[in-house]
Amino acid sequence: MHRKVIAPSVLAASLLLVIPASAASSVQGAPGIGDPYYPASGNSGYDVSHYDLRLQYQPKTDLLEGTATLLTTARQDLSRFNLDFGLKVSEIRVNGAKAKFATSGDHELEVTPAQPLKKDTPASVVVKYAGKPSEFKIDGWSAWQRTPDGGVAAQEPDSAVWWFPSNDHPLDKATFDISVNVPDGTQAISNGVLQSQSSRLGWTRYNWRSNKPQATYLATLAIGKFDVTTGTTASGLPIVNAYSKDLGDNAGAARASVERTGEVAEWLEGVFGPYPFNALGGYVPNVPSSFALETQTRPFYSPKQFANGANVSVVVHELAHQWYGDSVSVDGWKDIWINEGFARYSQWLWSEKEGEGTAQELADWTYGLRAADDPFWQVKPGDPGPDNQFHGAVYDRGAIALQALRNEIGDEKFFKILKGWPTERAYGNAKVGDFVRYAEKVSNKPLAQLFETWLYTPGKPAFAPPAATSK
């Protein structure tokens, strides 16, 4: 949805003087990309192909300063466009010229370039800014987690607005160069490959590169004192893991889990096809939160994930997202099952291969956990609503849906689909319906009813055992 609004000032001006046709037809971009779950997320009118972030962070004060350079292309002539951002901006230049800007809403930056952007023409946008990310709040809440020795940006569906200006929606993916200067003795961890690291004047700069399309919420930054381990996968990709020096009793279990990253990724390649990115790893900062997140190439793990000992299953989950979620991304946030149903199912496949229970057994067990009148069964994994986007039903009922599919079409077709989809859709976006059509095409079976039942119908569905289904 791209709302087209003609600027009143342009209409007024056209009565008085002759203006170029391009200006007369240029429009203002909308402050949202058209996602019904999050109307303010993203913006309309342009695409970003690359973000270059040159940042400096002082852990003592939580001050983040920097310059973001966005390489963009307008999709239409644009007299004004929006960026999503929460910190204080001091200057914006568009194609080298100072632009006017204003803030509106919670975290919208309205940029009026000196010259309108021209349709299909590259434009650079340079934003200079500074601020304390922990002090920027939306509904009283900050996604930036400060730690005793630094800070972390990792959240879904939003975290970018706390640290860089962007078109903050998975529909607009881009490559990233993230350069961060931190006091000597402190590290900056981010996505992709560490291109270089150098110290001067008491500060160390880390230059990270993520060279495949990356959604803004999958960009991550962690500053702190870390122990870093490195390795290489069988296919030669660099593995970089980072563990806060301050993980206490969870330190051993965290390492015993995240150090399995290369092994898990190689196993997943057998199920999903070639790993889609230029690096791997994981990081565990000393944050108080309890979730994990599939930040691209280098997932984020809260220490609490390892409170009961090693948890390789969460590593499987976040690495599965590299194919299902990061390479093939949601088209809109209602399509979250495209991510979470498959990441959960991958954990069941890992259990199956480890001899700790087959996916069928785990699906049966999960199915039996909740009675038919449990509100759990009221959440529709195919359209859970923004308040239930990460509800257990999206994960667990969503994974049972995949077991139901497997039972309906048989292992051969099922695993053909699991591998074919990330290949066919690599680096793109997809709706739940796109997957349903793909599964129908590959299996040559009508599947609309199966997915209607499991993803879109409130209530506890009947779960037929595999023996009773056709293969």
Chain residues in the site for Zn ion (CB under 5 A): 340, 343
Question: Pick from 35, 326, 340, 396: which binds ligand ARG (CB under 6 A)?
Answer: 340
Instruction: Write the single-letter amino acid at 405.
Output: L
* Residue with nearest beta carbon to ligand ARG: 291
**Identity of the residue, 390 or 463, whose beta carbon is nearer to ligand ARG in the bound complex:** 390
Question: Pick from 108, 156, 158, 396: which binds ligand ARG (CB under 6 A)?
Answer: 156
Residues 73-102 binding ligand ARG (CB under 6 A) are: none
**Identity of the residue, 101 or 337, whose beta carbon is nearer to ligand ARG in the bound complex:** 337
Min dist CB 217 to Zn ion, Å, is: 12
Instruction: Write the single-letter amino acid at 106.
Output: D
287 binds ligand ARG (CB under 6 A): no
**Identity of the residue, 35 or 340, whose beta carbon is nearer to Zn ion in the bound complex:** 340
The set of residues, in sequence order, having a beta carbon less than 8 Å from that of 76 and lying 6+ positions away, is 2, 4, 26, 27, 45, 119
**Identity of the residue, 129 or 283, whose beta carbon is nearer to ligand ARG in the bound complex:** 283
Q: Is cis: bond before 381, omega within 30 of 0?
A: no
Q: How many residues belong to the chain?
A: 471
Q: Which two tokens stand for residue 184?
A: 């000597």
Question: Pick from 30, 87, 293, 359: which binds ligand ARG (CB under 6 A)?
Answer: 293
Min dist CB 294 to ligand ARG, Å, is: 6
| CA atoms lying within 13 Å on the CB side of residue 250 | 22
Question: Pick from 292, 312, 330, 338: which binds ligand ARG (CB under 6 A)?
Answer: 292
Residues 77/117, Cβ–Cβ less than 8 Å:
yes
At residue 183, what are phi and psi to the nearest 5 degrees? Answer: -60, 140
Residue whose tokens read 């939003």: 158
38 binds ligand ARG (CB under 6 A): no
d(CA 177, CA 310): 33
Residue whose tokens read 């700790």: 356
Q: Which two tokens stand for residue 397?
A: 């009922």
Residue span 318-337 as binding mask against ligand ARG, x where in contact by CB under 6 A, dash where not: x-------------------
Question: Pick from 203, 291, 367, 427: which binds ligand ARG (CB under 6 A)?
Answer: 291
Residues 267/229, Cβ–Cβ less than 8 Å:
no
Interface residues with ligand ARG (CB under 6 A)?
Answer: 156, 291-294, 317-318, 340, 390
